[in-house]
Structure 1
Amino acid sequence: MRKPKSVRALEAFGRVRLSESFFMRDFLFSEIATIHGIGNIPTDPDLAIAAGKRLCEELLEPLQARFGRISVRSSYRSPEVNRFGNENKLNCGSNEANFAGHIWDRRDSAGRMGATACIVVNRFIPYYERTGDWEAIAWWVHDHLPYSDMEFFPNLAAFNLQWREEPICSIYSFIPPRRGRLTEPGKANWAGTHEAAYATMLAEIG
């Protein structure tokens, strides 16, 4: 598929079904692109579709099946959008750090395909706002889904959820007071089950 260059072509691209619940259009909105008039359209639509399908089928669908509706806050970024966000300190990492992350249509430096979406688990919000326990949902994902990376943010416990070939399975938080790396390969808490960390959450939200 060629990069869409007309309204009809972009409409057709947006209708591509990535999984039972998600279409490509669900992942293309960007505040940066909208406000600053920058195109947020993949140069390599086929790679973006392939990576997006894995993200949706292997991570977003099972997460939604377990906890109910999830909301996408930010997802695909074109290199132009991401570069602008990085250079203007709009909470975007470098392009190189986002290849196979928010930039779905570029492989990373190791040639791996990947895709990231910043999401909110709607049903988790009241529990998080009452307890501050973002780790509960983090450990549940760690134990149950083939993710590569998660990064958690204070507002609504939104988190970047990444699917990537050859996943790392590491978790980082920007939420005080436990800002930093929760787990990664080599840490004592990485392996095994973490049921005790999310048992209370499951009891409360089902």
Structure 2
Amino acid sequence: MKSPKSVAKLEDLGRVRLSRNFFMRDFLYSEIANLHGLPNIPEDPDLAIAAGSRLCEELLEPLNATFGRIAIRSAYRSPTVNGFGNANKLNCASNEANYAHHIWDRRDADGRMGATACIAVPWFAERYEAGADWRSLAWWIHDHLPYSSMFFFPRLAAFNLNWNEAPERRIDSYIKPAGCLTKPGMDNHAGDHSESYPGFPALKRA
């Protein structure tokens, strides 16, 4: 598929079904693009679709089935949108750092395909507001899903969730206790962490 150059072609791209409950259009909205009139359209739609499908099928669908509706805060960014966000200090990393993350249609420096979505889990956001520890959700995902990386933010306990062909298996956070929760080689990385998330539902598949 070529990068869309007409409304009709962009509509066709938006209708591409990435998984049972998610379509490409769900991931194309961007506040930066909307406010500044920038196109948030993949330059390589086929790669974006391939990476986004894996993100949806392996991570978002199980979360959606287990916890109910998943809210997408930020997902695909074109190199133009992400570059503008980085240059203007709008909480975007450099394009190179975001390849195979928010920029789905570029492979990372090691040639690997990947995709990131920043999501909030309303089921958990209510509990977080009432005092639940963000680490409970992080450990649940760590124990149940083949994520590559997660990065948590204070508002709504939203987090960047990344799928990659070669999973890094690392969790970081801006929420206290901030920093790296776990990564390969840390003592807490392997094993069962179910004591950290009592009362969480069992994993469901779409």
TM range (shorter): over 0.9
**2:66/2:201 contact within 8 Å kept:** no
How far the C-alpha of 1:201 sits from its partner, in A, is 4.7
CA RMSD of aligned residues (A): 1.1
Question: Paired residue for 2:185?
Answer: 186
Query: Which structure has more helix as a fraction of its residues?
Result: 1
Q: 1:95 is aligned with what amino acid?
A: N
Question: Paired residue for 1:153?
Answer: 153
How far the C-alpha of 1:131 sits from its partner, in A, is 1.3
CA–CA distance in 1 between the matches of 2:17 and 2:201? 31
Q: Secondary structure at the match of 1:2?
A: coil
Q: Secondary structure at the match of 2:198?
A: helix
Give runs of aligned pairs for residues 1-206 of structure 1, distance below 5 A.
1-176=1-176, 178-202=177-201
CA–CA distance in 1 between the matches of 2:49 and 2:200? 34
- The TM-score with structure 1 as length reference comes to 0.96
**1:16/1:24 contact within 8 Å kept:** yes
CA–CA distance in 1 between the matches of 2:122 and 2:26? 16
- Identity score, percent: 66
CA–CA distance in 2 between the matches of 1:140 and 1:132? 13
Gap runs ≥5 in structure 1? none
How far the C-alpha of 1:199 sits from its partner, in A, is 1.1
CA–CA distance in 1 between the matches of 2:91 and 2:71? 19
- The TM-score with structure 2 as length reference comes to 0.96
Q: 1:67 is aligned with what amino acid?
A: F
Q: How many positions carry a matched residue from both structures? A: 202
Gap runs ≥5 in structure 2? none
How far the C-alpha of 1:126 sits from its partner, in A, is 1.3
